[in-house]
Each structure stands twice: as C-alpha cells, then as structure tokens.
Structure 1
Amino acid sequence: MRRWLWFNALALVTFGAFLLFLVLQSVFGWQMRNEQLVQFGREPASYWVYLGSGHFIEAVFENWESEFLQMGSYVLLTGYLVQRGSPESKPLHQTDRPDDYPEAAGANSPAFAKKRGLAYVFYRNSLSIVLFAGFFLSFALHVLGGTADYNEVQKLEHGAPPVSPGKFVTTSDFWFQSMQNWQSEFLAVGALIVLSIVLRQHGSPQSKPVVSSDAHTGE
C-alpha cells in the first residue's frame, strides 16, 4: 500500500484537493443562494436540492469548461509551436519524434500504438481529443445550468418569463461568465511558459534544471 501511495501521490493529492474544494464550493454556494432566497421571501432550499440547481451546475461547469479549454489548447499548441528557453516547449528544431510512429513500437508499447488506420490516428491525438470533449460537455452543462439559474433570478427579481438555452447563449451574462474564466486560464499558461525561461523550481519537471541556461529549451 505504501508503495502504491508513493507511485500515485501526485494524482491522489490533486484529485483530493479537487474534491475538497468542490464540497466547500457547494456548501458556501448553498448558503449564499439561501440568503438570496430569504431576501426575496422564499423558503431556503435543502443542500441536496441545491446540488441539482442551476446555480451550482453553472458555477461548477463554467470553471470546468475553461480548464478543459486551457489544457486542450495547451496540449495541441505545444505540438506545433515552440518557445525559446521554455521547458514547456519542445526543442526549437524538432518537427516530430520517431517514437510517435508505429514502426518504433516495442513490446511494452500500448496496443493502440501498434495499430494503423483510424484507430492509430485517434490514439495519437487522444489526449487533446478527450480534453476538448471535456470542454464541449462542460460548455453544454454550463449553458443548461446557466439558463436555469438565469431564469430563476429573473423570476425572483423581475417576474420575467423564462428564456431558452439558445436565447441564454446570446446574452452578455453568459459570455461575461465564459470570458472571465477563459482569459485567466490563458494568462496562467502564458505566465508558466514565459516565467519558466528564467525562473526555476528544484525537482519539478515543469522547470529546467537549476543550472541550465535561460536559452535552454525543453527536451
């Protein structure tokens, strides 16, 4: 067990933090929404009802949407673009790697890496495909949750009739939510790419070795 924990510590800590913060988000969001309901003379909702509300669904998936967009774009762009001096970049003059082709597959290579045709094409692009699939799924759930929350707020504050998801997507409210997350994600990635040219973190694979020159680009 100790060996398994050691080998999987990075994933366990990051997903553990994710679950902790998700639960805390739901608790504080539930309290905030009930405060709003009381202000409008409505009965507070139970915690379990809140988890299925548009307010919670929208808040969760508008953030997931931006994270998957960030990582999918980062994985795809680093396959084609370079940044001199950054460990986040592939070497400046590397166009492709021999290990990216079935001819280089060995006994321990994944089964799909040894195939040809569409299965191989999908597998060699599977990381960005799955990340962008997460983006589109989160985007759709953001729209649905956002529509439900928008309609509830409009009804509470103005007694306005509900709008459809298609109509909600055309509102500035929806795109404000998306852009405030998207811009911050690309700022974070850009900062990592550029700061890692001149700054170091001992022991991290996201950093160059401490003694490497600033011009040294990733392997």
Structure 2
Amino acid sequence: MKRYLRANGLSLAFGLLFLATLVGQAVSGHADFNDQQLVDGGRQIPFWTYVASTDFAVDVAENWQSEYLQFFLYIFATVWLVQLGSPESKKPAEIGTESDEKQLVGAYATADSPKWVRSGGWRTRVFSHSLCATMAVVFLLSWLAQSIAGQAAYNAEQLAQLTDPVTWAGYVASADFWNRTLQNWQSEFLALGSMAVFSVYLRQRGSPESKPVGAPHATTDSTG
C-alpha cells in the first residue's frame, strides 16, 4: 500500500482535492442559492435537490470545459510553438511532430513500448494523437453539458420573470452564455502564458515544472 501511495501520490492528492472542493462548491452553492431564494421570495430547496439542479450542473460544467480547453490547446500549441528558456517548451530546433527515432515509433519502438505503437498502421497514428484528442472530446462534452444545463437554468429565470424561454441555439448565441464562457477562458489563457514566461526567470527547486536552480535563463526543455 505504501508503495502504491508513493507511486501515485500526485493523482491521488489531486483526486482528493477535487472531491473536497466539489463538495465544498455544492455546500456553499446550496447555501447561496437558498439565500437568494429568500431575497426573491422563492422556496428553499434541500441539498440533494440543489446538487441535481441545472444551477449546480452549469457551474461545474463551465469550469470543466475551460480546464480541458486549456490542456487541449497547450498540448497542441507546444508541438509547434516554443518559448525560449521555458521548461514548458521544446527546444526551438525540435518544432513539429519530431522524428520517429526521437518518438520511439516504427522501427525505433522498443519491447516496452505500448502495444499500439508496436502494431503500426492506423493504431499507431491514433495513439500518437490520443492525448490531444481525448482532451478535445472531454472539452466538447463539457461545453455541451454547460450549454444544455445553462439553457435550462436561464429559461427557469426567464419563466420566473414571466418572459419567453429561449431555444438551445438562442442560448448559445446569448450574452449570458458567452459571459460565463469567456470569463473562464481568459483566466486559463492568462495562467498558461504566465507559467511559460515565469518559468524562464524563476525557479522551484525539485519541481519538474522548473529548470534546475542554477540553469541559465536561456536553457530550454530542461527540468529540475
């Protein structure tokens, strides 16, 4: 058990943090929702009713889609774009999908390479882009969930105000949807860009996200 925890500490720690913050979001969101209901003269609802509501679903989905968009774009962008001196970047001479030899593909695959790499053909091509593709699919599904839940929550407000509900296409084209979406996207892009630049000039000893403490600022594709 100790060996397992040590080998999987990063994923387990962030998994627990995810669950803790999701529960915290549900508890605080429920309290905030009921407070707003009191102000508006509405009916308070039980905790599990709130967790199953579109109000909670849209808040969760809009955060998920922005995170997976961030990962998708960053993984894809770092194939073709570099930041000199950043450990988040490849060396300028390695821009592109790189050679089969460097990627251990085809004749350069080893006995320990994943099965789909050793099998060749379409399986190798699919596996070669599977990370980016998975991030893109999760982003699109989260975005779809956000738009559906957001439409339902928006229409509930419209009906409460005795105004006409909107279609899904109408909601996706609305200011409410894009305000929710873009405020998340801009923060993700700012964080990614800041990380790429800060890691050129700043260090964190022992972190693979940082260069070695004594490495020159111009050193690229090096972790400490």
Q: How high is the TM-score relative to the length of structure 2?
A: 0.94
| Residue 155 (structure 1) aligns with | 159
Gaps of 5+ in 1: none
Which of structures 1 and 2 has the larger relative contact order (alpha carbons within 8 angstroms, sep 6+)? 1
Matched, 1:168 2:138: no
Figure out how many residues of one structure are paired with residues of the other and give that number: 218
| Residue 189 (structure 1) aligns with | 192
| Residue 144 (structure 1) aligns with | 148
- Any idea what the Cα deviations from partners look like across 1:87-143, whole Å, max 9, x if unmatched? 100111014142422221111111011122222111000000000111100000000
Q: What does 1:195-210 correspond to in 2, within 5 Å?
A: 195-210=198-213
Quote the offset at 1:170 in angstroms.
0.9
Matched, 1:106 2:114: no
CA contact (8 A) 1:53 1:148 kept: no
| Residue 20 (structure 1) aligns with | 20
Distance 1:188 1:42 in 2: 39
Quote the offset at 1:23 in angstroms.
0.6
Between 1:45-54 and 1:198-207, the stretch displaced more is: 45-54
Give the SS at the match of 1:65: helix
Aligned partner (choices 120, 135, 142) of residue 116 of structure 1: 120
Runs of 4+ in 1 over 4 A off after TM superposition: none
Distance 1:150 1:9 in 2: 40
Distance 2:209 2:219 in 1: 13
Quote the offset at 1:22 in angstroms.
0.6
Distance 2:55 2:203 in 1: 40
Q: Once the two structures are aligned, what percentage of the paired residues are identical? A: 39
Which residue type is aligned with residue 200 of structure 2? Answer: I
Q: How high is the TM-score relative to the length of structure 1?
A: 0.96
Say what the alpha-carbon RMSD is for the aligned residues: 1.2
